[in-house]
A = this chain, B = another copy of it.
Amino acid sequence: MIRAGIVGGTGYSGVELLRLLAAHPDVSLAAITSRGEAGRPVADLFPNLRGYVDLSFTDPAAGDLENCDVVFFATPHGVAQSLSPGLLEKGIKVIDLSADFRIRDVALWEKWYNQPHGCPELVDEAVYGLPETNRDAIRRARLIACPGCYPTSVLLGFLPLLERGLADNADLIASAASGSSGAGRQANVGTLLAEAGESFKAYGASGHRHLPEIRQGLEDVAGGEVGITFVPHLLPMVRGIHATLYATVKDKTVDLQALYEERFRDEPFVDVMPPGSHPETRTVRGSNTCRISVFRPQGGDKVVILVVEDNLVKGASGQAIQNMNLLFDLPENAGLMAPAPMP
């Protein structure tokens, strides 16, 4: 059994890690830390885990993480930068769900996150944990930077086009929308049910922190500069991300459906839908699957790609476990095999 620890288990990606790891056949939960909730049983804060998780939160200073084989960071940015070096030194693998090691350009990170980077020396070593593009490097990594929720959906959706150089890379558009769990478990007027319920709005239209990460990921795939406009929106629901992607193809004769099906044929967590389908976020709720449809409306040169994922699973904790499975040579879908409930 792999001994797993979680730093920062009181947020939504923390509790989702707990839910998934509690059912994972090859993992034992060894420790979960929270400064604020130390001593409190996890299942007291998250009653869905009553009977499944017996652990209590411990103080990160207590040293419980040192007995782990792998430690997940489900923390605000900055924390993994400060604690990872010590863990790595002891031979413990680190899987970071925060933004700390996602951007290779340290100055760019500092600009968007508005603080000095706490661990620039590990940035180069960190592997960007998107298995669909990076599987081999992930297997060999010590430190994995899990992609953000929006970047996962946008990158997977554009991947087949950009890898093959089929689109005008200068003019990509990502109109995406997330359920409000994406804003985290923080007291905040703007994401109260009374504020965000029964309404819809864009946010961050002038620039969102996921933009440099998206651009970096697209440029890695395209092998050159890309122009991307990204507008996120807040949905009046709890879970799910939907990305509607627009690109211009250079060649209208390419069979996009075949391209996408072929590209993702062997991917355990990417499902290309039949032609004409519109994926619904509810079909992936609680599951690690990402569903994609591709259209070329009226036979023109505009391509519309629709992508859905659960922001807390494939967009966070599920993908982290998929990375862990690769890292420890387990079946890639271990612990991730439950379909979404519907309705």
Contact = CB atoms under 8 A, between A and B. Distances in A.
A246 interface: yes
Contacts of A248: 171
Among A173, A203, A284, the one with the most B-chain Cβ atoms within 10 Å of its Cβ is: A173
A277 B204 CA distance: 9
Contact of A342 (B19, B203, B205, B287): B19
Given A187-B189, A205-B306, A341-B285, A291 B236 contact: no
A1 interface: no
B173 A183 contact: no
A86 interface: no
Contact of A338 (B206, B238, B279, B338): B338
Interface stretch (A67-75, A191-199, A218-226, A252-260): A191-199
B193 A281 contact: no
A108 B227 CA distance: 36
A297 interface: yes
Among A196, A276, A289, the one with the most B-chain Cβ atoms within 10 Å of its Cβ is: A196
Nearest to A196: B193
What is the total number of copies of this protein in its complex?
4
A267 to B, nearest CB: 11
A128 to B, nearest CB: 23
Contact of A337 (B23, B196, B240): B23
Contacts of A181: 194, 343
B231 A304 contact: yes
Contacts of A291: 47, 50
A298 interface: yes
B286 A202 contact: no
Contacts of A280: 47, 199-201
A325 interface: no
Nearest to A279: B201
Contacts of A195: 185, 193, 343
A114 interface: no
A16 to B, nearest CB: 7
Contact of A278 (B179, B201, B240, B300): B201
24 contacts: A15-B343, A19-B341, A23-B338, A23-B339, A47-B342, A48-B282, A173-B173, A180-B193, A180-B194, A188-B192, A192-B192, A193-B238, A195-B343, A198-B198, A198-B237, A199-B281, A201-B242, A201-B280, A202-B242, A202-B244, A202-B306, A203-B278, A205-B293, A229-B246
Interface of A: 12, 15-16, 19, 22-23, 44, 46-52, 171, 173, 175, 177, 179-181, 183, 185-189, 191-203, 205-207, 227, 229, 231, 233, 235-240, 242, 244, 246, 248, 271, 273-274, 276-287, 289, 291, 293, 295, 297-298, 300, 302, 304, 306, 308, 312, 337-343
